[in-house]
Every structure is written in C-alpha cells, then in structure tokens.
Structure 1
C-alpha cells in the first residue's frame, strides 16, 4: 500500500447484471399490480356487488311470490268456505221452501177434508205463511205486504151458494144501446176535441201508431196528477175469433178501472158478436192500426207473442199508461199503483208477469227492458219478456215496483178450471188458456151461470155483480 493512500474509502461494489434485473422487476411488478390488478379487482368487486343485488332482488321476488301464493291459497280456502256456506244457505232455503210447501199441502188437505173438495185459500194462506202464523191466527188482521185489504166478492167462499141472477145475454146487456155512441177525437193543426158520434155500423175512424192526434187526445183529455196516466192499451194480433173471454176481459177493465181512453192496437180488425157488443157498451175505445213487427235487432220473429212483447214496451215508452193482455181480467182499480214509475207482479213460476204493466211515459225500467232486446234470441220463449223483466228488476230495484204477492195478479192456473180460488184480495187474474182453448170457446153468458170454478165465479162477478152460482 503506497504512502498517502486513503484507507477509509470503501471499495466500489459492482453488481452483476442479474441483480440489476431483479431490482427492475421488483419495481415494475408492483407497478403492474397497482395499474392492472387493482382496477381489475375493483371491476370484479363492482360486478359482484351487482350480482349480490340481483340475487337479493330475486330472493325478494321469490319471497313475494311465496307470499302471493299463500294469499291466493288463503283466498281459495276462503272462497271454498264461502261456497260451502252458500251451498249450506241454499240447502237451508230449499228446506224452508219444502217445509212451506208441505204446510200448504197440509192446509189444503185439511181444507179438502173439511169441505169435501179441494180449494185454494189464496192470500190467507200465503200471508199467514210469510208471517209464520196460522190462517186461524191471521183472521182479518192487516198483515202481509202490499195486499189490498178491502175484500171483494162477499164473505161466503164455500162456493155452494146459489142465488137468482139477472138473465143477461149479449142482446139485452144492460149498457148496450140501440144506437152506438163513441167519443172520438177530432184534431186539426193545433187543437183536439171529442165528438160523440152515433154509429149504426162497424165503421170507425182509424188512427195509425204514434199519430199526433192520439198524443193530443192524451195530453188534453187525460191529464192526471198521478205518475201513470189512466189510459189502457190492448194489442190484437192475428185473425183470431173474438171470443167471449176477450169481451169479459176488456169489459172488466172498462168497468173497474174507468180509464180515460182504451186503445186497441191491431193488425187485423177483430169481428164477431162479442166484438160488436164490446163496441156497443164501451164508448171510449180508439182503434189504432199497426203493422206487427217482423224482426227485432235484425233477427226474424218466430212467435206472434214476441211481436206483442216488444210492441207493448214501445207503446208504454211513448205514451205511458196501463197495458193488459186481452185475456187479463181486472177485478178492481189499480189506481194505488199509478204513483209508481213502473209496476208489475210476480207470477206463480217466480218470473214477472208481463200481462199487466203500469208505467209512466219514458219509464227508465221500460227503456232498459227495450235495450235488452239487442240480445234477442227468437228461439227462446220468455228470455226477453218475463225472465228478462225479473233479471232487470233484481239488477235495478229502484226503477220498478214489483208486487211480491203473486196472488194479487196471478194465481196458479191449476185452480182456474176444476177448483175455486179465493180471489178476495186479488187485483187481476190472467187466464191461462194453454190446453183449454176448446173449453174457453164454449163459454158464454149461459154456460157461466152454473160453472162452479174460479173462472165461473170471476165471470159472474164481472158481468152479474156477484160470484155465486145462478139458480
């Protein structure tokens, strides 16, 4: 070692090339991790977060589905429970009906044994059953629904009493006049007046449907404080013989209702002995010529009864008033129902009878009934008439007054011909002619004198003023 040499200076270390490379890599690799791996991790962490959220949503939806399914199962169980309760209620109501019918049969059986013949006790039985009282308990007390408590026909309903009757025939009918007088409207452009015309033959001024003179006649001479005008409508379709029963029916309306006017709408003018008699004794008949409808809602009409069904509704919508079938017997005035927008009565088969309808002009119920004919099926007999009326009455109870005692208007037809029906509280009876036309055609002023049945008693009451058999 030479003089002056600094012995404290460290010798310079020279790293081999491999070590340098290691140092480079040690710096680059963390940098790559920082710039590549960490962002990649963040991306995957975000994806994982999204996945977790999706999985949570699916779990929520699954849980919601389970809850919904549970609710549906509970609803189904509740529905089944309600159905079972409804079936039980129906069975209970059926049993009540069976019990009621059994009580009626027992009463009728006891009545038959007591009197030696079968007869119907009419409203007495029905009201007693509704009030869960016996007929004896009922007595004469004012119970029931809308039954008219002013009895008609007297107090003796044994139907075995005979009295001396007037010898009334078509030739000497009390109201018949030698010279026929008719009160007919005569109209000009502004006014209408009634002319009492004497007619010696069958010629009449004929009006068309929706004639302005008809409307003027109603508005001028048939004004009323009641909702329903006191005008009566009959429809006569077809070339039928105007038999005795039709005379009695139309005359009963004239006698007991005393209408302002009676309109008879026809496509073929009636004729015969009893039609002539009707014109002679009823001075306020106005004949209205109409063309019977051939189709409804584009569908061809099969039954003539369907033509009458739709026409009666159109007439009541146009004018209002009281519609009656030509075989509907009116036993007393129906004025008590003329303060209702529309009134009909239940029939024995639990449909609503359309043989007697009271309605105001433009009645809402009548309009809805007409609208129902959009679904008219010509092959179905009563779908759009009596059955539709019942459906609409249930659907729109505020638009119609339905008299729930069918004894007011429609007793069961089985009691017409071979039994006696106590009609002391009835307003009207509908003659069921099915299968009885020959028997109907044979009736006249003579045959009804000793006819011991419901029809015989009713005909005598209308024509002779009493229901008892004639000596």
Structure 2
C-alpha cells in the first residue's frame, strides 16, 4: 500500500468512526491500513470529541452507584513536555496500561514535534498492536492561564496540570502520569462521571483521572485557576480545588481513597517485597520515581532501572516490572498472581 492509498484509507476510517463509534476504529484501521515501520499515527483527533455515545446530562447523576454502561471512553492520555526519550520506568508503565487496560487508543500529548527517540521508544514501536493504538497529539506548552503568567520554574509541571484538564474536557478518557503503573483493568471506574484518587484527609491526586468529557468537575477545576498562585507547587492543581469545590460538592466525583495508589507509597514499592500485597490492594500506583533520590534509602544501590538490573531488584517494583518486561501477549498479568 503506498502513501496516498494510506491517506485515503485513514480518511475512510475517520468517516466510519463517526458513524460506528470509537470502539470500531482500531479494527477498521488495522484492516485497511498498514503503516510504515517508522510511522506513528499523527493526527488532529478532533473526530474523537464528537462521539455522542458518551454524552450524558449529569445534573442528577449518582457517582456512588454509577451508570449501567461505560460512559468514559477507553482512551489513555499521557503528557510528555520537552522530553524526547523514554526511560525504562516510563516504558514499563505505558506497557502496564496497554496490557492490563487494553485501551482503544493511547493519546500522547506532546510538544515534541520531530518524534521521540531512544531504545524504549523503539521497543514500544516494535509491537504492532501497541503501535497501532498510539496517537500523537501536538500541544503547546502553556505560558499563562487566565492572563496570569505561569511560574517559569514550574512551567512544565503547572502546564501539564492544565493540559490534562483540557484533554479530558475535549475527549474524556483515562489520564495517567508517566510513572503510574496499571495493576489491573480500570473498567469498573468507566461507569462513573469522574473518578479520582482522593485519600482521606488529603487533597485530590492528579496522577490518575478517569472522566467523561462532560464531567461537571472539569470546568470548575479549570475555572479554579483564576486564583492561580505561581509560588505554590500543588495549590492550583490539588489543594485549592479540593477545598473550594470538592469538599463542598463531593457528589461531583467518584472518590477512591486507596486503590488508585496516589498516596505516598514509595516504601511499599521500593523498600518492601513480602509485606504488601500490591496485586490485591491496588488498581494503579503512582511510583514517585522522580523523588527516589531523596526518599528511597536504597537509591544509591539502584540509581536507575533498566532491563538488566531489574531482573534481580528485590522489592515489589521489581516483580511488577518483570511481569511486563516478559513481553507476554496482552492480557491481565495479575491473574496468575492471584490464583
């Protein structure tokens, strides 16, 4: 199939996706279009936002019981700003999401317009089915919000917070930080208007978010940035919206206090092996990988993880990574552990 035939087929795929719904698009593209080995599907995926199958009026929606069908698209969102290469841990986390969630698509929102590089990005592209699900979505790194300049020191982090809200408002789906490991399928949360990790007596966690694009909390969360405080790390994304919106209206979200693993779990991941049954107690876990240097007592022994030293890493993350590194066929790897 030549280049022009491929473009024509993609146009047809877009048309049929509007008619049939998002779940049919991967199968249709797989049937009519075989991308060249060095190509990742880059597109402006505007057509995803018009799918009416996920449109609901949430005025009286019950986020305790949820709906009797999926109302959150099975799309995973990642954000990568100013990062061309992928680390081993990021590869492990992406593959855990692919294997255990089986998303229709994986959207990578990035300001890297000339392509990613490195061994682990190559590994990702070497899996045909995984590669077929990747959609690179170009974004600009925000410099301001509501006329207020973002703190230049924290611009990437505060900008990423804004992009994740805006992406969910446009498409809906499942947002994951790059160092979130998906332990098991998240479909049970796709029946709620919006689900987030919100531990008891803490602010909401921004690391794992599942939402219908019309979720009521999303525009309120974004509007909260009118009170942007450039000198505070987590006030804008977590502390203020928790205090000013969610504490007053907890019914806007499905609150998961523990199973999404957004609370501090560095000890359980990097300092324990037998005392914490992660495969039973967690659905996802935020690995806090960028904070190990000053929080992990064993950091000096394993400063960086790779496919070699992970084979003898003795703590829980080692077992988790090895399950994904085996490159088994897609499916829920945790099943064999539970039996």
Fold conserved (TM > 0.5)?
yes
- Say if 2:207 and 2:262, in contact at 8 Å, map to a contact too: no
* Structure 2 residue 169 is matched with structure 1 residue 317: yes
* Structure 2 residue 125 is matched with structure 1 residue 279: yes
* Structure 2 residue 244 is matched with structure 1 residue 388: no
Q: 1:446: Cα distance to partner?
A: 2.1
* C-alpha distance in structure 1 between counterparts of 2:179 and 2:186, whole Å: 17
- Say if 1:413 and 1:431, in contact at 8 Å, map to a contact too: yes
Q: Mapping of 1:402-417 within 5 angstroms?
A: 402-405=255-258, 408-417=261-270
- Residue in 2 aligned with 1:358? 210
Unaligned runs of 5+ in 1: 1-181
Shift >4 Å, 4+ stretches: 188-193, 218-221, 406-409, 437-441, 465-468
- Say if 2:78 and 2:108, in contact at 8 Å, map to a contact too: yes
Number of residue pairs the alignment of both structures matches: 282
- Say if 1:458 and 1:467, in contact at 8 Å, map to a contact too: no
Q: 1:398: Cα distance to partner?
A: 0.9
- Say if 2:266 and 2:288, in contact at 8 Å, map to a contact too: yes
1:407–1:366 CA distance, 2 compared to 1 (3 A) = closer
* C-alpha distance in structure 2 between counterparts of 1:409 and 1:403, whole Å: 10
* C-alpha distance in structure 1 between counterparts of 2:181 and 2:190, whole Å: 18
- Say if 2:183 and 2:334, in contact at 8 Å, map to a contact too: no
Say which SS state the counterpart of residue 286 (structure 1) adopts.
strand
Q: 1:411: Cα distance to partner?
A: 4.7
Q: Deviations over 1:414-452 (max 9, x none)?
A: 333222332122001101123436877731222111111
Q: 1:312: Cα distance to partner?
A: 0.5
Give the alignment partner of residue 369 of structure 1, picking from 214, 218, 221: 221
* C-alpha distance in structure 1 between counterparts of 2:180 and 2:291, whole Å: 17
* C-alpha distance in structure 1 between counterparts of 2:303 and 2:140, whole Å: 27
Q: TM-score, normalised by structure 2?
A: 0.74
Q: Deviations over 1:137-162 (max 9, x none)?
A: xxxxxxxxxxxxxxxxxxxxxxxxxx
Q: TM-score, normalised by structure 1?
A: 0.54
* C-alpha distance in structure 1 between counterparts of 2:201 and 2:288, whole Å: 13
Unaligned runs of 5+ in 2: 1-5, 18-24, 55-67, 294-298, 327-332
1:407–1:356 CA distance, 2 compared to 1 (3 A) = closer
- The CA RMSD measured in Å over matched residues stands at 3.1
- Say if 2:48 and 2:171, in contact at 8 Å, map to a contact too: no
- Residue in 2 aligned with 1:39? none
- Residue in 1 aligned with 2:11? 187
Give the alignment partner of residue 432 of structure 1, picking from 288, 293, 297: 288
Q: 1:261: Cα distance to partner?
A: 1.1
- Residue in 1 aligned with 2:139? 290
Q: Mapping of 1:243-258 within 5 angstroms?
A: 243-258=87-102
* C-alpha distance in structure 2 between counterparts of 1:185 and 1:379, whole Å: 49
Say which SS state the counterpart of residue 385 (structure 1) adopts.
helix
1:220–1:203 CA distance, 2 compared to 1 (3 A) = farther
Q: Deviations over 1:321-355 (max 9, x none)?
A: 11111111000011111111111113588222111
Q: 1:388: Cα distance to partner?
A: 2.8
